[in-house]
Homo-oligomer: A and B are copies of this chain.
Amino acid sequence: MIGLGLIGGSLLRAASAGGRTTWGATESAVDAETAVADGYEVGTDVAGALRKAAERDAIVVLAVPLTGLDEVLRLVAEQAPSCLLTDVTSVKAPVLASVRRLAPGARFVGGHPMAGGTSSGWAAGNPALFTGAAWVACVEPDTDLAAWAEVSTLAIELGAHVVPVAAAVHDEAVARISHLPHLLAAVLAATGAYGGPLAASLAAGSFTDGTRVAGSRPELVRAMTEGNREALLPVLDEALGRLGAARGSLASTGGLAATLNAGHEGARRIADLRGAARAAVQVSLAAPDARDGLCALGERGGRIVGIDGSTALGEVA
């Protein structure tokens, strides 16, 4: 485990609790000391931790911010060039491009556990963080499916279910359901605060809910939104178009029915999709079209809940 913040620290704890042999490294001497005091094998020597991973044929998990990723990938190429490599970064196409450029020999499977919180650092970690969470494990045309199965098995062991999709498809979806919400929360919080103490004293549920994630550390939100620039721009334009249409309609006819009905219908549709009954399906990882099958399942909202030899056990609505 390279990096021991909220996600890396939770992952190390959960994998250890599940009986795996784990070790980690972090640039933060404070986090390393605290993790050692908590009984984990952790240090500040990233190269050494990677060398050991190469010797033991371990899964290397990169849990560092996107901005620090290239530096660690150079160490991976030096110390563990053909390791089984995954990451937990919240954007996937830029990470895939970096790995192809800097550590092309690694058996790489991009990962993204959809779990987090507004706290950060080793101390905020929680081994139950991934229980019930979606965990994207990327499938590209050249993905090594044995490596994909190993990463997926780890995610499932930690209580998550696996969503298999291509990196670019992931990035478009999280722009909609994670990065846009963070930007709208920031806009709402700034606009609300501009109303001064009266606005603060009248703020109730709709404002509190709509601004909760504006309390997240801005540098973490910047890393994920700025890192997903290519996918986020068209989604941001779509939201601007919808909000601009609402503005135009309110100014001209005075009506907001189209905006509010579309929002209500969208909320209902997403709730229906999330609550839909799911049927069990199997995907043979040995089949020639296995990668297409996995991606199709992920794009339909399906999930992998088990790996049995060379068969992925899925659920789809």
Contact = CB atoms under 8 A, between A and B. Distances in A.
A261 to B, nearest CB: 5
A187 B184 contact: yes
Contact size range, A: 35 or more
A181 B207 contact: yes
B200 A191 contact: no
A48 interface: no
Nearest to A215: B267
A291 interface: no
Interface in A261-288: 261-271, 273-274
Nearest to A114: B204
A180 interface: yes
Contact of A274 (B181, B184, B200): B200
A98 B158 CA distance: 61
A244 B239 contact: no
A22 interface: no
Given A187-B243, A211-B267, A301 B198 contact: yes
Interface stretch (A4-12, A78-86, A219-227): A219-227
A177 B190 contact: no
A216 B32 CA distance: 47
A301 B198 CA distance: 4
A78 B225 CA distance: 60
A157 interface: no
Contacts of A235: 191
A315 to B, nearest CB: 10
A96 interface: no
Given A201-B303, A273-B201, A300-B197, A207 B250 contact: no
B163 A202 contact: yes
A177 B192 contact: yes
Interface stretch (A33-41, A99-107, A120-128, A167-175): A167-175
A178 to B, nearest CB: 5
A194 to B, nearest CB: 7
B209 A209 contact: yes
Given A185-B210, A194-B238, A199-B173, A233 B204 contact: no
A226 B254 contact: yes
18 contacts: A116-B205, A169-B198, A176-B192, A183-B256, A184-B184, A184-B210, A185-B210, A186-B264, A189-B263, A189-B266, A191-B235, A191-B239, A193-B267, A198-B301, A211-B270, A214-B263, A218-B263, A226-B256
Interface of A: 114-116, 133-134, 136, 163, 165, 169-170, 172-174, 176-178, 180-207, 209-218, 221-222, 225-226, 229, 232-233, 235-240, 242-244, 246-247, 250-251, 254-257, 259-271, 273-274, 298-303, 317
Question: Nearest 6 pairs between A and B by C-beta?
Answer: A186-B263, A197-B301, A193-B266, A200-B273, A189-B266, A181-B206
